Amino acid sequence: MSPVPSVRPFQSILCPVDFSAHSRAALVHAVEIARRTGGRLTVLYADDPLLDTAIGAAYDRQLSTKQTMRELRRFLDRVVEPAARQQLVVHIASVVGRPAQEILKAARKRGSDLIVMGTQGLGGAQKMFFGSTTEAVLRRTSAAVLAVPAKPARVTKGWPGRLVMGAIELGASDRQDARAIAELARAFETDLVLVNVIRPTAAPPWFAPQLRRHDRERLAAARTRLRRLAADSPDLTVTCRVVLGDPGEELPALADDVDAGLMVLSLRRGHGVFGKRQGSTTYRVLCGSVIPVLALPSAR
């Protein structure tokens, strides 16, 4: 069988920033992805409308916008080395509005296939990337989202290192999801571990012996299915892991256990591992993760 050709995903990358150290970490990851894929990068600042109104009342709004653009350029220059800057196509933009809405609007306008954002920003819960903004983007996005934790490991040109971990929800779309994750492993030139977390069967305690046997059968079936999905990528080194537990807790622990540099999973709507609202469990995973989490919309 001939090798599967590597593709170059993420040709339009959007990175919202708020000048915090955490958004700087997100920008470092966005730059590294743009460097590896040859994609164009847009750095976006979304100003709070109430703050903008106050500034407009005290100062000239046009002058304020120019100052914001200057600060964006300085922020970019501090993050991106001059030599690396020459290899990138980078745009900067400043908008006024609710951050989540403006991020999604900018992604649609620019045809972004990846949004890179931090999970915490200036002032903790009072500012842009903590909690509601990231969660709102995950629930409504049609683009992939790379969520970078507040204190990620140092990013180098070798990121994400030797291993990408892909979380698979078994079902009608598992083959499509596994292929998309394998595609990313090829692009990053890493090995791949496919994982599946099975929730324990809930029932009264007097059924415990039967349930333990039932869950063992579920684990065995999941391992068999993951091996079949791994066989679709003979050009990659793929291992499989299946565990019993809560995905929001087990996935970060598994990523740490296998020493992955990136966790990839697919967003879901409806009743499944990812809950009734798109991004629910994904958000819990990234809150507990110490490595970046890449969420792929199921439409990919």
Short-list 299, 298, 268, CA closest to 283: 268
Report pLDDT for 22. 82
Residue 143 lies in domain: 12-148
Short-list 55, 22, 227, 263, CA closest to 121: 22
Nearest-angstrom CA–CA distance, 236 and 231: 9
Mean pLDDT, to the nearest integer, of 189-195?
A: 96
Domain boundary among 90, 114, 148: 148
pLDDT band, residue 203 (cuts 50/70/90): low
SS3 call for 198? strand
Are residues 232 and 285 located together in one domain of the fold? yes
Share of the chain above pLDDT 70, in %: 77
Are residues 120 and 198 located together in one domain of the fold? no
Q: 116 forms bridges with which residues in the sheet?
A: 146
On the 0-12 / 13-18 / 19+ scale of CB atoms within 10 A, 7 is exposed
Number of domains, the chain: 2
| pLDDT tens track for 35-90 | 888 999 999 998 765 454 444 544 555 666 788 899 999 999 888 877 777 788 99
Are residues 141 and 266 located together in one domain of the fold? no
- Per DSSP bridges, beta strands 293-296 and 144-148 are antiparallel
- The larger pLDDT score, comparing residue 3 to residue 175, is at 175
Average pLDDT of the chain is 82
pTM: predicted TM-score of the whole model, two decimal places: 0.83
